[in-house]
Structure 1
Amino acid sequence: MDHADNLKKGEKGAWISIGAYILLSVVKLIVAYTGNSEALRADGLNNSTDVIASIAVLVGLKISRKPPDENHHYGHYRAETVASMFAAFIMMMVGFQVIIDTFGKIVTHETSEPNMLTAWTALGGAIVMYFVYRYNKSLSEKVGSSSLYAAAQDNRSDALVSIGAFIGIFGAQFGVFWLDPMAGFIVGIIICKTAWDIFKDSTHTLTDGFDEKQIDKIKESIVKVQGVKKVVDVKGRIHGNYEFIDITILVNPELNVREGHAITEKIETLLWKKHNITHAQIHIEPYE
């Protein structure tokens, strides 16, 4: 099965997230309004932003499936990364808004006892999002989708956010009313933290960042290939979910073209079996 088919399967996870987020955001915002809970309101707003983020992931997955064309010789796989970055921006803006609103209520002591129904709603939302997280995480690993993996991490964060909201609302039942807006404030911080993590990973990928430890492991593997005298350089970059590797090695200058090509084939096979790398540009130079 090729990568395009995997991306198509990954869309199922995005659709499940969208459905869950729409349902939870509507229910939470209605219950929060009637039950007077800032924590659940913040949780509901968090889920509403996740609807947009999940749609961005879905669009990114669809664009990534497009085959290479005249302007995109390497395909459109980075659309996933762009979608993840777009989702991060939306999450960050809402996170800041939640922090500002709840912090203002804490400072001005605009607190009141929330209805216990809001606590059970938050707990129910946490359970739903935990199962969505488990499904999307498993699916992202099967299909190799970075944006779906980011969505899964967001699902987990949402489950934790809902648990935090539940604790805050439950604590407010004992007269500690400031716990409810405080829980909402913490929810806002978690939203911003999740957005920052996704943004950081996306920018690292788009600026051709690559794990240095992975480079060292690749070098150690290549130098053991028969016929390789020295590994001069190894560079890597991420294109969607593909790792593109550029390698320069030194070989016996007396080798003919066929023998040199045989060495590159050994390296390509090694990279595929040991490091799951399918794209490698190997440059051969004479060893003096």
Structure 2
Amino acid sequence: MTQSDISSESAALRDKRRAAWAGVFLNAPLAGAKIIVGLVTQSQALVADGVHSLSDLMSDAAVIWALGHSHRPPDADHPFGHGRFETLATLAIAAMLALAAASILIDAGARLLSPPDGAPGLLALCVAGLSIALKEALYHYTKAVARRTGSAMMAANAWHHRSDAATSVVALAGIGAAMLGALWADALGAAIIALMLGRVAWVYGRPAIHELVDTAPSEEVATRITGALMATPGLRDAHDLRLRHMSGSIQADVHIALDPAMTLSEAHRLSEAARANVLAALPEVNEIIIHPEPDGHADGPAAHKAALRPELAQVVRDCLDGIVPAGAIRHLRLDYRDEGVIAVVELRETPVSGAQMRIAFRLQQAKSDLSEIRLLWAPAS
């Protein structure tokens, strides 16, 4: 991560914290004022609106908690980072929205069945109007921060602020209608707004649930990633691509097929090139883990069941014993193919005549996972 990226991330975190604390400083006194004035003026709508403002205060607290955790770097307990703390907070906010919607809907139904006897006073009307103005301004501020930082959590919290403004509209309409004699109008408006809030809770809660249960992104994203991988020279195939969301970004892992004769260092270099291609082509992907494998020889028994180097190296030594001096062996390379494991022995000197045939005969008697032992040597300079 460059210094510019770090500075941008710090600025985004600072903006989100400011928006969250602005909500705390506004919601705390506003909730208290609405509840107290509602009790004094006997306005049930304003008291309910004040309770909803308290849920906004809880939402802001959840956001501040998430911001204190989600931007921490990966550690031993969270090797993939802490981004899902923000997702968890988004889900909590969506749940609060859903509960607020249910509460408003139940209260609206009760008021439709049993309208209040009297109307509140002008003070309750003024407090509801002030609440609308303040909460709508806070909604636009928080929404702008969400858009600038790409944070679903801040967007959900912005809608929670707007939901409070909406309930204040309901309270205002209820108080005004009660003062004019139409006591049923505010309850009907409350029911409509409750359904709207339920939809907002679903819009923001559903993606959070999908992320927490590792639901894959759209097929279009997978197609773009595969295209970026296949643009890498030397890459023969890409398969077993797996994707998941992580706090607004995407993480992936994939298997790529390479030339079986390719060296490990070249395979690593090609894998890094493929990874860079994906990250450059898809900014929404912040990590991709690449598993290189030999083309056409990744799923056979040799790849999963054949013996490992210590056992096979001993078989090679037994087959070469007395034919090739131990000091003449420079390097042993094992090539795991579907038809068996090929051992390639690099020598420092030319082997004796007939060495290859004698070694092949011994290998037949050994009955190991080795299918062939090849001798390679360079002529003396």
TMscore range, shorter length: 0.7 to 0.9
Q: Which residue of 2 aligns with 1:284?
A: 292
* Structure with the bigger percentage of strand: 2
Q: State the distance in 2 between where 1:210 and 1:228 align.
A: 24
One-letter code of the match for 2:157?
A: A
Q: Which residue of 2 aligns with 1:231?
A: 238
Match of 1:247 among 254, 260, 270: 254
Q: Which residue of 2 aligns with 1:76?
A: 82
Instruction: Choose between structure 1 and 2 for higher RCO, CA contacts under 8 A separated by at least 6 residues.
Output: 1
Equivalent runs, 1:198-209 vs 2, <5 Å: 198-209=204-215
CA positional deviation for 1:73: 1.9
Change (3 A) 1:46 1:194: farther
Q: Which residue of 1 aligns with 2:228?
A: 221
* Paired residue total: 288
Q: Is the 8 A contact 1:28 1:44 kept in 2?
A: yes
> What is the CA RMSD across the aligned residues, in angstroms?
3.0
* Identity across the alignment (%): 25
Q: Which residue of 2 aligns with 1:18?
A: 24
Q: Is the 8 A contact 2:56 2:164 kept in 1?
A: no
Change (3 A) 1:68 1:127: same
1:27 aligns with 2:33: yes
Q: State the distance in 2 between where 1:31 and 1:245 align.
A: 54
Q: Which moved more, 1:196-205 or 1:43-52?
A: 196-205
CA positional deviation for 1:63: 1.9
Can you give the 5+ residue segments of structure 1 that lack an aligned partner in the other structure?
A: none
- 1:87-121 residue CA offsets vs partner (Å, 9 max, x unmatched): 34444444433332331121123354444554454
Q: Which moved more, 1:97-106 or 1:254-263?
A: 254-263
Change (3 A) 1:26 1:270: farther
Q: Is the 8 A contact 1:43 1:184 kept in 2?
A: no
Q: Is the 8 A contact 1:271 1:278 kept in 2?
A: no
Q: Which moved more, 1:44-53 or 1:265-274?
A: 265-274
Change (3 A) 1:219 1:162: farther
Match of 1:105 among 96, 101, 111: 111
Q: TM-score, normalization: structure 2?
A: 0.65
Change (3 A) 1:160 1:180: closer
Higher Cα Rg, which structure: 2
Match of 2:163 among 157, 176, 201: 157
Q: Which moved more, 1:110-119 or 1:96-105?
A: 110-119
Q: State the distance in 1 between where 2:23 and 2:107 align.
A: 26
Q: Which moved more, 1:161-170 or 1:77-86?
A: 161-170
Equivalent runs, 1:64-213 vs 2, <5 Å: 64-110=70-116, 112-212=118-218, 213=220
1:52 aligns with 2:58: yes
CA positional deviation for 1:4: 6.8
1:272 aligns with 2:271: no
Q: State the distance in 2 between where 1:109 and 1:275 align.
A: 57
One-letter code of the match for 1:286?
A: P
Change (3 A) 1:215 1:29: farther
Q: Is the 8 A contact 1:247 1:283 kept in 2?
A: yes
CA positional deviation for 1:205: 1.2
Q: Which residue of 1 aligns with 2:47?
A: 41
Change (3 A) 1:95 1:156: closer
